[in-house]
Structure 1
Amino acid sequence: MYRRVGKPSSGWANPATALFASRIGLSYKARTRDLTFAFSKDVLNMYDHYAAIGAVDAAEKETVETLFEECGKLCTQQLFPLYQSGDVEGCKRHPVDGTVTTPKGFKEAYRSVVEGGWAGICGPREFGGLEMPQSIGVATKEMIGTANWAFLGYPGLTAGAVSTIDAWGSEVLKQAYFPKLTTGEWTGTMCMTEPHCGTDLGQCRTKAEPFLPAAAAAVSDASAADQHHHPISPYRLHGTKIFITGGDHDLAENIVHVVLAKLPDAPPGTKGLSLFLVPKFLTKFDGTLDTTRKNVNCARAESKMGMAASATCQLEFENSIGYLIGEPHSGMKAMFTFMNEARIGAAIQGVCHAELAFQNALAYARERKSLRGLSGTKEPEAVADAIIHHPNVRHNILFCKAIAEGGRLMCLDLARMVDLINTAKSDEERHKFTEEAGFYTPIAKALLTELGLEAASCGVQVFGGHGYIKGNGMEQILRDARIGTLYEGTTGVQALDFIGRKVLKSKTREPAKFAARVAAVAKPFVMKSGDIGKCSRQLMRLSLQWRFGVGALYLNAAKDKESVGSASQDVLMFAGYITLGYYWLRMAIAAQKQIDAGKDVDGFYLAKVTTCKFYFDRILPRATAHYDMMMLPATSLMKTDQTKWDM
């Protein structure tokens, strides 16, 4: 558990702080039992869900639980040991050829992921994938991400590229690229942002021009173009993309970039964007890669606040050959497949950081001795009581636990909705499930990344000064968590999308359905006594408040357009806290059922009920403050003269 520092004969380097200043970093245990509980009949009832959508392999409980156990072994034995060392070493770009190298051990770990089939767990079976439902993929992704979030970006974005090409690419393009992408032998990226624009992709300047190999004599590098196999008519891309996760690395022999660009006849704005597949290396006619010339160059690898082991690159497209995905000028529509999957991935990130902070804060608090309990000595044989006995410390740890376990269920249920989209039997059914998932995606992404960041900070707080010191690992979790609220659209962007498209302009009455869904869980228990009854009444009141609040938003928006923007983040967080309460109440009801049946032999289910009570007592009241703020006019934001702010 601990190590000596300094010379072997010198004992502890600093006797006053030795036990805690010299810890061997972080620890991690895969939470497979929590997944088993989440998948059970009384919670998400996933096995009946899998049977209903025809996912035969996933419908076997024993198969899925074995898969989780094996994934847990991969995470604890190979991926987690690289978490802190990868942060220290980071990624490095070669100054001459631009190639990025990942930290020591990442190549071997990635090879294990590929050989174990984890990269292609949800990929098409015909191309080497296991074709498991997305909800299975989300469960394994969360374990991998908690073990080593920086590592997950490499196979994680590849899965998004596969989903996008599968939904919008031609059969010829799939045949050419799917076999290697699905298995993870090649990796994929998402290329949207440019130096002059972030969220406002209508400003995109990357150009794509048609290019036919038959006309190669007209270009300077005709010989290079002629020796390559082009599955469909190619284009030449010119431009710069920044902040590309996994944009270059040494884990796979090829990297396939999914790139937004504009054709010569493109209309202005986002309606003029098209989507292209652009490989780092082109394929020759004999099927081998032409590694003598890069089709895409890495100009820069960013030095970042956190996520040092994740290669974030600036890519240069200079006469880079690419292939159209989908129809011309329909790039944003196609890219939303990738973006929505990435947003769910970002939500998972919040869960991962909360979980890792929880596990390590709890272990530390059980060991660290400081002061005596306010209600009396708890460990008379020790010099002081363990800090786990102090209420504020318990609050920080329970906050992490509440966000990790409630967020886990939220992400799994959102992935269940994606399963329904992917297996829908009609366009009408697919549209229904898409609208439902679309409502919950910005909630999950924004709420869980914000609260995951706060949980990481709570973990540092439990460690006190030791949490601020590098090597103990807690400050790394906090640094790594910070990007989550920025990934795939900041919290503010998610809020504008939510209040605009998902609330005020919803054509399928998703806000009303949301309130009804929450009420359906709470209503049967509002007359019950005890914690379940109290939590149900609290949640029922909030669902009614949500209904009233949405109506008020319509009226406010009609009178003052700025009120929409000023209320947006509070609306999103208000909905988020209610949603997390909804999932905690579902878990508490299921856990209480097991307790009443005499099946809680080790206190697992009691911990669910008590954590639910903590969430409703200590976290959910924040929803009321967000409600009060979302009802305010925009006056204090928009009527204040910004030219006077610096006076």
Structure 2
Amino acid sequence: MADYRAPLTDMRFVREEVFRAEQEWQAMSATADFNAELADAVLEEAARLVEAELFPLNQRGDQEGCVMSDGAVTTPGGFRQAFAELARGGWCGLGGNPAHGGQGLPKLLTQSFDELLYASNTGFALYLTLNNGAGLLLDAYADEAVKTRYLPRLYAGEWLGTMCLTEPHCGTDLGLIKTRAVPSDDGRYSVTGSKIWITGGEHDLTDNIVHLVLAKLPDAPPGAKGISLFLVPKRRVLEDGSLGEANGVVCGGLEHKMGINGSATCVMHFEGAEGVLIGEPHQGLAAMFTMMNYERLSIGIQGLGLGDVAYQSAIAFARERRQSRAPGGAAEPDQAADPILVHPDVRRMALNARAWNEGGRLFAACVARELDRAKYHSDREVREAADELVALLTPVAKAFLTDRGFATTVEAQQIYGGSGYCVEWGAEQYVRDARIAMIYEGTNGIQAMDLIGRKLTRNQGAYVERLADRIRTELENDDIDAPDVHPFREALERELIRLERVTAAVIDAASKDAAAAGAAANDYLHLLGYAVYSWLWWKAAGAAQRGLTRQGPSGEDFYRAKLIVGQHFLTRQLPHSEALERQIAAGPSGLMALERDWF
């Protein structure tokens, strides 16, 4: 059977000992009331909730899935009750604006809650995380009347939000959308069109669903510059905030999917539905990116959460499963065979999974901290630097975390042998649930193109240069001189040089060959991911060494294990960056040589 316990000790280590969250929060007025004790209390209660309520529903949600009848969608058994408990506890508005009923928790804390949700029950988690993104968008772009009417109910979990972008004929190229919004005399709009793959498009968790819909006005210019954004509720919302009649929003069907079966993925039809313009006309895509970028980090965390629960479940199996003897002789001679954890190849798989998970947790926290700085810091230069780093790392957070998360679920499944292919152990569900994360919210290939186009060649590597400068400043100010940390520092210095060398080569190649950027994009994203992980593992190793020296709160065994897992990253995973450099240097010629008719 699957097994999951919230990794609170590691979360606290990352938050307080690596990133010194309490010190960060108290330096910013908006977060000054938060401290380590409060963060611990929030996540301890969150752990109780997900372990007791959500995790036990995970396999049931996968097996039952969502069911549609007469246009209404029913979520799996237990989902409604679990959602009602979360809503009563205020978990739907953790990061929301306090001016409208949210709790205003910093991202460095709420991203840990997102990990717990995804690990315990990804199908369920998606309803909440989409709602969080919708709230963020409305808080940034809606007028006060819309905020006052909608945000308190979204934060309270009375209603849930969605994002409606994709249409049957277009996904990435949203400039091709056909959904139309015609203005009415009362200042509202009549929205007509169809959207597909809408997470939470219809369900029975709340009385109303708030759709954020991309559409084009009659006078819209062609392409992406003609997209506007509209709020379209399932049921009309009256002036006093109460619910009126149905609003011409119809669920046309449920998608039949490989995984995340507890999440209602819907075809949605808008049949003259009444909508409200959010933001300025023809500026909808820029507004929607506020939500999309939030969701991209969130989906990266989906990969992390699934990787961790898959690892934990596989280790529980490996402790009990007995096969053969340890290489040096019987580890438990009074038993007929030893647990499979004695075997080097099983340990290879287990350490691969654990190192990716712990590195991913560092990476998610790093991006979350920069989001907090960009939003709350009083120093404009700090805000701008943080915003740049978030822009650079968001596509990496989505793609690298989900690639590694899927690889981790597969590695964990392999530990089971044949049992991992069978449903009752849960391992195959994690593989299926993790696979979608590499596809939706912008495929990982699109993330790579975004990185190399908008974040690298457009500014001639300025973001990467400033990241390298920041890391070198940290290296210069480092005060830890311990043998166990030296390999981490040496690896980081080597990877920084590699990153700068490859960055310069890619920019030069792209200036001479239109296909060069696209040919390098995927490999370059992963190269940058490895470089950032080497930075974060160096920081974690330093924090672990300080913990050993000062008898820190995580305990001696924890710190020693952290250094060993980090060494596995250095010796068994980081060397892949050498191959990536060679692949990038190969250029586009081999990819473009085959005639289209020869495929």
Query: Same fold by TM (over 0.5)?
Result: yes
| Aligned partner letter, 1:335 | M
Alignment match of 2:52 (pick from 57, 74, 77): 77
Match of 2:146 among 173, 178, 182: 173
Gaps of 5+ in 1: 1-24, 214-232
Size of the alignment, in residue pairs? 598
- CA change 1:104–1:141 in 2 (3 A) is same
1:304 CA displacement:
0.4
SS in 1 for 2:49: helix
User: What amino acid does structure 2 have at the position aligned with 1:142?
Assistant: E
Q: Whole-Å Cα distance in 1 between the matches of residues 543 and 385 of structure 2?
A: 28
The residue aligned with 2:335 is 382
> Residue 30 in 1 paired to residue 3 in 2?
no
- Structure-2 separation of matches of 1:307 and 1:609: 35
Whole-angstrom CA distance in 1 between matches of 2:28 and 2:185: 43
Amino acid at match of 1:203: L
Alpha-carbon separation, structure 2, partners of 1:619 and 1:517: 24
The one-character-per-residue Cα deviations of 1:384-428 (angstroms, maximum 9, x if unpaired) are 111101111111111111111111121112111111222255877
Offset at residue 44 of structure 1 (A): 0.2
Q: Please give the alpha-carbon distance, in whole angstroms, between the structure 1 residues aligned to 2:440 and 2:28.
A: 31
Mapping of residues 343-492 of structure 1, within 5 Å: 343-425=296-378, 430-492=383-445
The separation in 1 between residues aligned to 2:572 and 2:476, in whole angstroms, is 22
Q: Note the 1:202-351 alignment, pairs <5 A.
A: 202-213=175-186, 233-285=187-239, 287-291=241-245, 293-351=246-304
TM-score of the aligned structures, taking structure 2 as reference length: 0.97
Where 1:290 maps in the other structure, the secondary structure is strand
Give yes or no for contact 2:213–2:232 (8 Å, CA) kept in 1.
Answer: yes
Map Cα deviations across residues 247-289 of structure 1 (whole Å, 9 max, x no partner): 1100011000111110001011100000110000002355421
- Code of the aligned partner of 1:328: P
Deviation per residue, 1:596-619 (Å, 9 max, x gap): 334575501111000000001111
Match of 1:510 in 2: 463
Structure 1 residue 572: deviation in Å?
A: 0.4
What is aligned with 1:496? 449
Q: What's the Cα RMSD here?
A: 1.8
State the match for 1:49 in structure 2. 24
Q: 1:57 offset after TM fit, Å?
A: 6.0
Please tell me the residue identity of whatever aligns with 1:446.
A
- What is the identity, as a one-letter code, of the residue corresponding to 2:45? E
1:613 paired residue number? 567
Report the counterpart of residue 642 of structure 1 in structure 2.
Answer: 596
What fraction of aligned residue pairs are identical, expressed as a percent?
A: 39
- Asked if 1:122 corresponds to 2:98, the answer is no
Q: Aligned-pair distance for 1:338?
A: 0.3
Secondary structure, counterpart of 2:238 in structure 1: coil
- 2:137 aligned with 1:164: yes
The 2-side partners of 1:301 and 1:570 are apart by: 35
Q: Which moved more, 1:261-270 or 1:556-565?
A: 556-565
Name the SS for the 1:267 alignment partner. coil
Shift of residue 49 of structure 1? 1.0
**Which residue number in structure 2 is paired with residue 537 of structure 1?**
490
Aligned to 2:68: 93
Name the CA shift for 1:525/1:385 in 2 (closer, same or farther; >3 Å). farther
**Deviation readout 1:162-195 (Å, 9 max, x if unpaired):** 1101111111111121121121210000110100
Higher mean C-alpha displacement, 569-578 vs 126-135 = 126-135
* Distance across 2 between alignment mates of 1:84 and 1:491: 27
For 2:555 and 2:233, how far apart are their aligned partners in 1?
55
Q: Which amino acid aligns with 1:31?
A: P
Q: Which AA in structure 1 matches 2:496?
A: S
Shift of 1:290: 2.2
Secondary structure at the counterpart of residue 18 of structure 2? coil
- 1:184 paired residue number: 157
2:27 is aligned with what amino acid? Answer: A
State the partner residue of 1:148.
Answer: 121
Specify the alignment match of 1:201 in structure 2. Answer: 174
Distance 2:134 2:76 in 1: 24
Give 1:570's aligned residue.
523
Q: CA contact under 8 A between 1:274 and 1:327: conserved in structure 2?
A: yes
Supply the AA of the counterpart residue of 2:587: P
Q: Is the 8 A contact 1:58 1:133 kept in 2?
A: no
CA distance in 1, matches of 2:32, 2:158: 24
Q: Structure 1 residues 589, 424: closer, same or farther in 2, change over 3 A?
A: closer
Once residues 340 and 475 of structure 2 are traced to their aligned partners in structure 1, the CA distance between those partners, rounded to angstroms, is 36
